[in-house]
Structure 1
Amino acid sequence: MQSSYNITTSPASQHPIIDKEQPVNSETVCDSTPVKNNEPNREDLSCPQVPWVGSNGLDDTNREMEHEYITGFKLLIVMLAVTLVCFIMMLDMSIIVTAIPQITSDFHSLSDVGWYGSVYLLTNCTLQPLAGKVYSNFNTKYIFLIFLGVFELGSILCGAAQSSNMLIVGRAVAGLGGSGLANGALTVISASVPIYKRPAMMGVMMSVSQLGIVCGPLIGGALTQFASWRWCFYINLPIGGLSLIFLLLIKVPNSRSTAASISTLKMVSRKLDLIGFTLFAPFAIMLLLALEWGGSEYAWSSATVIGLFCGSGGALTVFAAWEYYVGDEAMIPFSMVKKRIVWSSCLVLAFASASMFILTYYLPIYFQAVKGVSPTLSGVYLLPGILPQMITAYISGVLVGKTGYYLPWIVTSTILMAIASGLLSTLALDTPTAKWVGYQILIGVGRGSGMQMPIIAIQNVLPAVQIPIGMSVVVFSQTLGGAVFLTVTQLIFNRSLISGLNQFAPTVDPQIVLSAGVTAIRKLVKIDEVPGVLKAFSWAINKDFYLAAGVSVVAFVLSWGMGWQSIKMKKVVGPGA
């Protein structure tokens, strides 16, 4: 094998020196001209933005920050704070579902129902890439607290709303704040601990935050019934306030070694790529509106929906051209997203998250509609999938930290998710408890073993200064994947339910069932028609779970692009990796 040497950095001179005592594999060093006289070749641009790798396996930026990593009780408090924030953010997305009927009664605003959820998603997705750019240029902790403050302000506006329009404004403000919370939490963790500790911590954080989706309808139903729907929003205040206090009391390292100094409006525009943001926003808004309105407000073949899709495609084309032109100052640098590991990881998480959202949203429908249990009990029935996910997320994270390799875990994860989704597609009226519990345990183990791995892969391949941007891109991919496939799933469900009703309950009007809601169907049809209606529901849900299995298979195929790399020895790779 060709001899090669480890390149380290002298703390005094910040010039690389050659350590001949610790050879490394020549394949880990990018192509460049040899180092002469202990000086790097500064003119070689074949590996832009790639840090020098030290003998301890850490890049130069991480070695500078290593002394700032927090441990012990301080780390526990920071983890608790960001996990609670992610929990209430996910809770806020689902808690409103059970409160909407009472809200529409109070405000006489049935026509505004769609906006209560969509306006949050619109502002949230639109600002996510810009949030990453902000994190990469300013103090990590204080930017996170600002986003949290905006989210809390939106919750206050929603809770105190005196009209439907005020509630919509509050949801929009909450979405703006939420756009920087998930990616901010990942950035805070990446700045607080070395990379080999991140898989376990991020896995636990993601698993606990997912409880927010599950608990949302339960908590929302209880608060609406026994207190007021306004507490569905006020509940965010004490939890978010506690997290804010925790973070104010502890020094959180920055995601970069030095904070940027942006003193002029012109420099702000250049550093944050505000032009790029103004081009990205129309793309995100038009795409999400098309998904929201298609099949509900307007037909999919209508000029409005087709126009929105075409407009979003045009805006995306212009945005991509601008980002390529701007280069490394872009909101989403082309040099970053063209790395195979980055785009593969984003796509894997988008498809894996789509599978997760499909099952999370439609398993409760199966339990409530087909099994006839209450919303509260349906939430309890989801625990067999959540608890194994939390346990497996921690175990897999620890093992990745010890072995260094994340690829086996994400491959195994997507395989288990595909198998479990396929098994769940066999659920019927008479499926015994042991089966649906076992299937959920399998899906929980699958999620827990790999959902955090795409994030770790991106953090491993990017320099520290680009990690906040990378986290925003991957969170946007996750959100967009969920939004797109939930829309597709709803379309499949509606059409399959109508087809199933025509087949199993031909005397029942499908429109009555579609407009009745999940819990009211037994009251609206004759007793002898109930079995056929329930069979139609089960049949339609099975079709959705076919889609969950399919996107899991796609995630499995894409996961191989994440690369066989170790987080214990960060390799120096070219820009195309």
Structure 2
Amino acid sequence: MSTHRRSTSETRPLLHDRPASYATSNPSDDDDSSQQTVSGSSLSKGDLVWVLAGLWSAVFLGALDGTIVATLLTPIGSYFQRSNQASYIGTSYLLSVCCFTPLYGRLSDILGRKGAMLLALTFFGGGTILCGVAPSMEMLIVGRAIAGAGGGGVMTVSSIAVTDLIPLKQRGLYQGMANILFGLGAGIGGPIGGWLNDSFGWRSAFLFQIPILAFSVILVILKVSIEMPVELKEESLHSKLRRMDFLGSATLVGTVGCLLLGFDLKTTEDMPWSDPLIYGLFIASAVFAILFVLVEKHWAPFPVMPLRLITRRTPLSVSLACFFGSISAFSMIYNVPLYFSAVRLNSSTDAGLHLLPHSVALSTGSVFAGWVMRRTGRLYNLTLISALFSVGASLLVTFWGAGSSQWNLWLDIVPQGFGMASLITTTLIAMIAGVAKGDIAVATGITYLFRTTGQVLGVSLSGAVLQAVLLSKLRQRIQGPDAEQIISSIRHSTDVIAGLEPTLKKAAVDSYADALRVIFICQVAMNVLTFLCCLPIQENPLPGTREEQEAQFRRNEANQEGNANADEADA
């Protein structure tokens, strides 16, 4: 394919003519645009509330589902007598979320926001129902994978739809409100899941979600009316399907899926790095990645991840900041409770309670960032300060030891939660503010892809490093005829530590402390990388009205086309 064709296909906006929906309003309508949605129809405050209720109830349900299922792993494993496979219930969902999240950006431009959201809810609901009636562990795992194919879409499409309706200067505040609902769902999911399991059995915890899902579907059908552009409405099914980058999507799924599955099997199954399955998956991921780049660069007329977008300064910086920041954040969330269980020998309940201040900080940090952006119309300095908050918190945690006060143990992680919540809000707005209107959906999907991939890797990589260091330290400290059996029991359950004789107990506690300190130091490194990735982010003004926002998107598109023409001339 010629250079000219490549350049035009990669830089052509999905909605080239900028129709009224998803794009700039007609100039003659600018005087009334503050009273309109992007589809050009009047939207009262009451209607906006119902639209947000439909979108955010789905977000709430996704968060609720995640923590409900986390509390059900043990009873489900015992029910099927397959406790060794219980972790795959969570893994299959997360892998599916990571693989399918970026696809919804393009789907929302083809099917419309309502169509894409309904597709995501259909997958999520179908998978959840299948889990509730699953006759075997294998079918339950398949059900969670199907639910994950919709779960990532729910988050992505809801974010895209809110961007359509809310000017960027106010967008961060609305994102903060959505994050509060997400935090509320995640917070009450565990207790609800445990109560439903104890009262009605674990299947009820899945089936209980269906009425909430039905409520979301009804609201989306009735109230979410962001229409598709006229030219897309008039296109044939064949033309619409041509807009889907099937080959790019398949190679992207292969890249992400093989990479995450390799790390997960290494951690979950305790396989060595030299195992053919592990390095085979990594090799396959590399091959798929090469194929993905070739497809996106040479053959895809409407790329699922346009290279001319992801290689630009702000989108690339935002993506990497979200990636490294999510690795650190989820490593912190999973390993701080382990510190209190294995080193402080606290109960599981007490260990979990130490995350409560962190959870509160997550909600307040996002709202605070939105409030600051709404008042100032700026985000660059706030982004850097947020990243530094996470660096500071991770440094404080590395100094935890026997002499640490209770104040430190309860509050040192608060700046991490506050800073990370603020960071993911500001970086999302920075991404949207720096792209053309036709790229908003795809750019949002890219942001969520890097974020969710970082979350899974944060858990998998920290688990692999922890086990490697822990095994080395335990073998140094515990020797004798039964050493390997004792070491194995200590590695696989922290509950046994309290019952060991004093010498072995000290060896176990010290080994966990050493291993977790390595993890905490790695978190510092990830947060420093996050800060460095934030430095190149461009400060774009945040429009406060629909007219200003549309004008900025026009400028972004003009700059994008100018850069593309310059690249074409150089070639």
**TM-score after normalising by structure 2:** 0.83
Residue matched to 1:283: 255
In 1, distance between residues paired with 2:496 and 2:194? 16
Residue matched to 1:230: 203
In 2, distance between residues paired with 1:435 and 1:460? 38
Deviation at 1:265, TM superposition (A): 4.9
RMSD between aligned alpha carbons? 3.1
In 1, distance between residues paired with 2:219 and 2:236? 33
Structure 1 residues 45 and 353, CA, compared in 2 at 3 Å: closer, same or farther? closer
Residue matched to 2:116: 143
Secondary structure (helix, strand or coil) at the match of 2:206 reads helix
Residue matched to 1:130: 103
Bigger proportion of residues as helix: 2
1:515 paired to 2:469 = no
Residue matched to 2:521: 546
Structure 1 residues 410 and 146, CA, compared in 2 at 3 Å: closer, same or farther? same
Residue matched to 2:19: none
Q: Which amino acid aligns with 1:521?
A: I
Deviation at 1:416, TM superposition (A): 0.7
Question: Of 351, 355, 358, which residue of structure 1 is paired with 2:328?
Answer: 355
Q: Which amino acid aligns with 2:113?
A: T
In 2, distance between residues paired with 1:133 and 1:59? 15
Structure 1 residues 275 and 99, CA, compared in 2 at 3 Å: closer, same or farther? same
Deviation at 1:300, TM superposition (A): 1.1
Deviation at 1:66, TM superposition (A): 4.7
Deviates more, 1:271-280 or 1:566-575: 566-575
In 1, distance between residues paired with 2:318 and 2:80? 44
Deviation at 1:159, TM superposition (A): 1.6
Question: Of 205, 211, 230, which residue of structure 1 is paired with 2:178?
Answer: 205
Task: Tell me the percent identity.
Answer: 23
1:555 paired to 2:530 = yes
1:403 paired to 2:373 = no
Q: Does structure 1 conserve the Cα–Cα contact (< 8 Å) formed by 2:10 and 2:306?
A: no
Deviates more, 1:467-476 or 1:539-548: 539-548
Question: Of 537, 540, 547, which residue of structure 1 is paired with 2:512?
Answer: 537
In 1, distance between residues paired with 2:15 and 2:538? 19
Question: Of 82, 89, 95, which residue of structure 2 is paired with 1:116?
Answer: 89
Q: Which amino acid aligns with 1:285?
A: G
Structure 1 residues 378 and 74, CA, compared in 2 at 3 Å: closer, same or farther? farther
Q: Which amino acid aligns with 2:266?
A: G
Deviation at 1:413, TM superposition (A): 0.8
In 1, distance between residues paired with 2:241 and 2:23? 30
1:68 paired to 2:36 = yes
Structure 1 residues 87 and 426, CA, compared in 2 at 3 Å: closer, same or farther? farther
Question: Of 116, 125, 137, which residue of structure 2 is paired with 1:152?
Answer: 125
Residue matched to 1:10: none
Deviation at 1:555, TM superposition (A): 0.8
Spell out, residue by residue over 1:296-329, the C-alpha distance to the aligned partner (whole angstroms, 9 max, x if none): 4432112222121111111111111111124651
In 2, distance between residues paired with 1:290 and 1:333? 26
Once the two structures are superposed, the pairs formed by residues 20-419 of structure 1 within 5 Å of their partners are 49=13, 60-61=24-25, 66-69=34-37, 70=43, 72-210=45-183, 212-213=185-186, 216-254=189-227, 258=230, 260-261=232-233, 263-297=235-269, 298-326=271-299, 329-419=302-392
Deviation at 1:563, TM superposition (A): 0.9
In 1, distance between residues paired with 2:319 and 2:71? 32
Structure 1 residues 428 and 334, CA, compared in 2 at 3 Å: closer, same or farther? same
Spell out, residue by residue over 1:251-286, the C-alpha distance to the aligned partner (whole angstroms, 9 max, x if none): 4435x6547237545323311112222332322222
In 1, distance between residues paired with 2:44 and 2:349? 38
Deviation at 1:520, TM superposition (A): 4.5
Structure 1 residues 266 and 245, CA, compared in 2 at 3 Å: closer, same or farther? closer
Structure 1 residues 126 and 50, CA, compared in 2 at 3 Å: closer, same or farther? closer
In 1, distance between residues paired with 2:243 and 2:519? 43
In 1, distance between residues paired with 2:223 and 2:356? 33
Q: Which amino acid aligns with 1:414?
A: A
Aligned length: 526
Deviates more, 1:399-408 or 1:293-302: 293-302
Q: Does structure 2 conserve the Cα–Cα contact (< 8 Å) formed by 1:116 and 1:167?
A: yes
Deviates more, 1:318-327 or 1:544-553: 318-327
In 2, distance between residues paired with 1:347 and 1:490? 22
Secondary structure (helix, strand or coil) at the match of 1:329 reads coil
Structure 1 residues 210 and 262, CA, compared in 2 at 3 Å: closer, same or farther? farther
Q: Which amino acid aligns with 2:73?
A: I
Spell out, residue by residue over 1:158-199, the C-alpha distance to the aligned partner (whole angstroms, 9 max, x if none): 122121122122112111111311111111211121111111
Q: Does structure 2 conserve the Cα–Cα contact (< 8 Å) formed by 1:370 and 1:535?
A: yes
Spell out, residue by residue over 1:315-348, the C-alpha distance to the aligned partner (whole angstroms, 9 max, x if none): 1111111111246511222222222111111111
Q: Which amino acid aligns with 1:557?
A: L
Q: Does structure 2 conserve the Cα–Cα contact (< 8 Å) formed by 1:350 and 1:481?
A: yes
Deviates more, 1:149-158 or 1:441-450: 441-450
Deviation at 1:548, TM superposition (A): 1.7
Secondary structure (helix, strand or coil) at the match of 1:401 reads helix
Residue matched to 2:395: 422
Secondary structure (helix, strand or coil) at the match of 2:401 reads coil
Deviates more, 1:82-91 or 1:415-424: 82-91
Structure 1 residues 419 and 152, CA, compared in 2 at 3 Å: closer, same or farther? same
Deviation at 1:513, TM superposition (A): 0.9
Q: Does structure 1 conserve the Cα–Cα contact (< 8 Å) formed by 2:386 and 2:419?
A: yes
Residue matched to 1:41: none
In 2, distance between residues paired with 1:438 and 1:62? 52
Structure 1 residues 493 and 46, CA, compared in 2 at 3 Å: closer, same or farther? closer
In 2, distance between residues paired with 1:264 and 1:423? 59
Q: Does structure 1 conserve the Cα–Cα contact (< 8 Å) formed by 2:76 and 2:86?
A: no
Q: Does structure 2 conserve the Cα–Cα contact (< 8 Å) formed by 1:137 and 1:259?
A: no
In 2, distance between residues paired with 1:220 and 1:365? 22
Q: Does structure 2 conserve the Cα–Cα contact (< 8 Å) formed by 1:147 and 1:177?
A: yes
